[in-house]
Structure 1
Amino acid sequence: KELCDVTSLHLPGAAERPAWGRAGSAEVPIFLPRLQEVNCKINKRLKDALFTDQWSELFMDVLSPFHFVLVSTVRMQGVILLVFAKYYHLPFLQDIQTDCTRTGLGGYWGNKGGVSVRLSIFGHMVCFLNCHLPAHLEKAEQRKEDFATILHMQQFEGRAASGILDHDLVFWFGDLNFRIESLDIRFVKYAIDSNMLNQLWEKDQLNIAKSTWPVLTGFQEGPLNFPPTFKFDVGTNKYDSSAKKRKPAWTDRILWKIKSPSVGLGAGGCQPSRGILSVSQLCYCSHMEYTVSDHKPVAAIFAVQFASKADKPPVEIYVADEWNRPEQAVVKYKVAAGFHRSSWDWIGLYRVG
């Protein structure tokens, strides 16, 4: 809810872990900060509309030394999704589109809903969806309806993947607001203090929904081996001590879905045979050190093995290593035979480091 030091969210050591491409690659070319309940007062929104918003600037400052550049961003009031990539992977990122769906106040207000960025990565269609769903224990059914509305409303241009679930791979995350049912708050806190989190899993509304709601068929999630991330007294690591005494819950989640669910891999899964799109979750954790919100941030690292990989970009750009004079600032490029030209084609000049 306020700007803060986000350096630890880059997940130290992530640069040595495999992420996209074939198994054994050693880099993290995609980084996705996603935010909910960002300050969206009218004066802040006007400033962000006229200039680069503060959150984009903050993450650009943190990530540029690691050779990341901002590929795309989408905002709907207080819900933001940013997509960063290593600059040398930019030629392999295509068909970038964004969308947003308001579900607050019957679809007229963007305090709740979802924002998405979809793109082709090495020839595979991938969609990232950041949602802020309705709050409170009794609103589980409303959360399901809102998620179904977001999936139905968001449509993209092109035949490759027009809807969210048409993509080869979908990552769904955000403040999904699912709560823990039935159990008394005292037992929930006892289970947390005693590190018996498995006692709470079967009463988690999202875990229940994954096996009962058809709209969630195929979505996978790693084990919740970190304490519930909501609700804390701001400035502390103590759960809600106000008069409302809200029950702790895993409201902040990260899930994924492969278009053919049978070939997916969860944490600890066995290695797939070559030629199959697979996802392995290497890390799923919360960051207890952040106390500026009543939520704790949640982060994950994934290794994705694509069925195939486009090794040659459709457009190759040639520039001199160094420009000392204005007349040296010349870009030459060559397009592949099958490249589909468009009036939207462009060449970007990025500042790196």
Structure 2
Amino acid sequence: METVNPLKPTEPRDRKLSIHVVTWNVASAAPPVDLDNLLQLDNQDPNLDVYVIGLQEMNCGIMSLLSDTAFEDPWSSFFMDVLSPLSFVKVSSVRMQGLLLLVFAKCQHLPFIQILCAKSTPTGLFGYWGNKGAVSICLKLHGYYISIINCHLPPHLANNDQRLEHFDWILEMQNFEGPDIPNILDHDLIVWFGDMNFRIEDFGLHFVREAVKSQCYSDLWEKDQLSIAKRCDTLLREFQEGPLLFPPTYKFDKNSNNYDTSEKKRKPAWTDRILWRLKRQPHTDSCTPRLPAPHFSLSLRSYISHMMYTISDHKPVTGTFDLELKPLVSVPLITLMPEGLWTMENAMLINYSLTPDFPSSPWDWIGLYKVYINISDIPETEDQFLLCYYSNSLRSVVGISNPFKIQPQAFLEEDPLGEVQPRI
């Protein structure tokens, strides 16, 4: 039998995380009542760790923007209300006019997610207006660099060159602040999605509709502008995409599954896409192919559209991925737990420890949060709580305690920001 030396550090085990990416041009509509199919919540065992949700054409009228500035926008509130009872936490968000990008993660992953930057890149009106462009979030996950980009590129069949120019411009503008953040092309993973507005060339309206009706999609792939560009553009070729085995997602009559019956009668097209790019190792010689970085791989589990949603002239598209990695960071920077029994009758003490290289700050804080559970899945129990350590320097939660209970007589006070804090 093999013995383990307790003094020798153990090699971190490979981890597998499931990521669900959503892209949807919502055409200024409010959230529908039920989005379970979109979020895979109607699946008996979705087994998801991270949600990445990107919307385009959210309502960005003056009154709506003013309201969303003062309060959470309706879509963000909806996703938070649905996902928080399932132990998901919103780790970051960024909005630019009609573009919104949200990242949710299971709470146990928070100590290993560091948000590095969230930014907007407008491309409308020569870069001065955000009706088109991209919003992006750069983060570190278990020590790996990941960039997430939600975009809305120029419309219309004839503007393909402009779309490709905007694609290059958005990529070029991802110059993240911070001395230790590498160039985006050196990130381990780029997930790029949105309403890219690429169309189907050459074929006429009736041919395209008949091909869609008979599900002869292969006839249309050859004339898809993005597929054509990927064959010609060296950088774009490095982005991967799943097979387009679902009907074109644009353009539909609202509140129906009928393609455009207006006077314009726009051709169906796969405008809504999800791409990804893994970091490549440098060439060792001219005969050696470029391979993904070791101990870090991404596989596509599903790539589908959701025809059941009719609030928009676009159908939403989702991609579900399995990310396998060997953690570069496998131990939380902070470990913490409540000290003793927490009640109103005694002082509420916290015991925590820091790793030697942790950049502590006087502006760090520890918050007390109620754990929300899905009552339909498990029997109702007493309330449980978590302690979370937030690092101001790293702008992230870097430590979470195990769930614990507070005796019923404990007195808790809610602060003006809505965060529950113990009165000591």
Query: What's the TM-score, normalizing by structure 2?
Result: 0.74
Which is greater in Rg? 2
Structure 2 partner of 1:46: 66
Q: Distance in 1 between matches of 2:168 and 2:176?
A: 16
Q: CA deviation at 1:315?
A: 1.9
Contact conserved, 2:340 with 2:349, CA < 8 A, in 1? no
Note if 1:186 corresponds to 2:216: no
2:332 to 295, 313, 326: 313
Q: CA deviation at 1:347?
A: 4.0
Indicate the SS of the match to 2:256. Answer: coil
> 1:41-87 CA distances to partner (integer Å, 9 max, x unpaired)?
11111111112222211001111121101100000000000000001
Q: Distance in 2 between matches of 1:117 and 1:158?
A: 14
Note if 1:235 corresponds to 2:255: yes
Q: Distance in 2 between matches of 1:321 and 1:108?
A: 56
Q: Which has the higher helix share?
A: 1
Distance 1:99 1:243, change over 3 A: same
How many residue pairs align between the two structures? 335
Structure 2 partner of 1:23: none
2:226 to 206, 209, 220: 206
Out of 161-170 and 82-91, give the one that drifted further. 161-170
Indicate the SS of the match to 1:172. Answer: strand
Q: Which has the higher strand share?
A: 2
Out of 54-63 and 343-352, give the one that drifted further. 343-352
Indicate the SS of the match to 2:37. Answer: helix
Distance 1:323 1:51, change over 3 A: farther
2:133 to 92, 102, 113: 113
Distance 1:216 1:344, change over 3 A: farther
Contact conserved, 1:91 with 1:316, CA < 8 A, in 2? no
Contact conserved, 1:39 with 1:78, CA < 8 A, in 2? yes
Indicate the SS of the match to 2:277. Answer: strand
Cα RMSD (Å) of the superposition?
Answer: 2.3
1:300 to 319, 342, 358: 319
Out of 165-174 and 316-325, give the one that drifted further. 316-325
Note if 1:340 corresponds to 2:382: no
The code of the aligned residue for 1:11 comes to Q
Structure 2 matches for 1:211-222, cutoff 5 A?
211-222=231-242
Out of 302-311 and 172-181, give the one that drifted further. 302-311
Q: CA deviation at 1:109?
A: 0.8
Indicate the SS of the match to 2:315. Answer: coil
Q: Distance in 1 between matches of 2:291 and 2:344?
A: 53
Note if 1:100 corresponds to 2:129: no
Contact conserved, 2:186 with 2:279, CA < 8 A, in 1? yes
> 1:88-115 CA distances to partner (integer Å, 9 max, x unpaired)?
1111111432011000111111010000
> 1:254-306 CA distances to partner (integer Å, 9 max, x unpaired)?
01000117445xxxxxxx9xx43211000100010100000000011000111
Structure 2 partner of 1:283: 302
Out of 317-326 and 71-80, give the one that drifted further. 317-326
Contact conserved, 2:295 with 2:326, CA < 8 A, in 1? yes
> 1:232-257 CA distances to partner (integer Å, 9 max, x unpaired)?
00010000011101000000000100
Structure 1 partner of 2:39: 10
- Unaligned 5+ residue runs, structure 1? 18-26, 265-271
Indicate the SS of the match to 2:311. Answer: coil
Distance 1:347 1:141, change over 3 A: farther
> 1:170-209 CA distances to partner (integer Å, 9 max, x unpaired)?
1000001000111111111111111111111111111111
Q: Distance in 2 between matches of 1:319 and 1:157?
A: 36
Q: CA deviation at 1:340?
A: 3.1
Q: CA deviation at 1:10?
A: 1.2
Q: Distance in 2 between matches of 1:79 and 1:311?
A: 34
2:156 to 136, 140, 143: 136
Distance 1:329 1:196, change over 3 A: farther
Q: CA deviation at 1:323?
A: 4.9
Contact conserved, 2:115 with 2:137, CA < 8 A, in 1? no
Distance 1:341 1:187, change over 3 A: same
Distance 1:347 1:113, change over 3 A: farther
Query: What's the TM-score, normalizing by structure 1?
Result: 0.88
Distance 1:187 1:350, change over 3 A: farther
Q: Distance in 2 between matches of 1:209 and 1:326?
A: 68
Distance 1:8 1:322, change over 3 A: farther
Distance 1:350 1:182, change over 3 A: farther
Q: Distance in 2 between matches of 1:340 and 1:149?
A: 35
Q: Distance in 2 between matches of 1:88 and 1:45?
A: 33
Structure 1 partner of 2:82: 62
Indicate the SS of the match to 1:33. Answer: strand
Q: CA deviation at 1:350?
A: 4.5
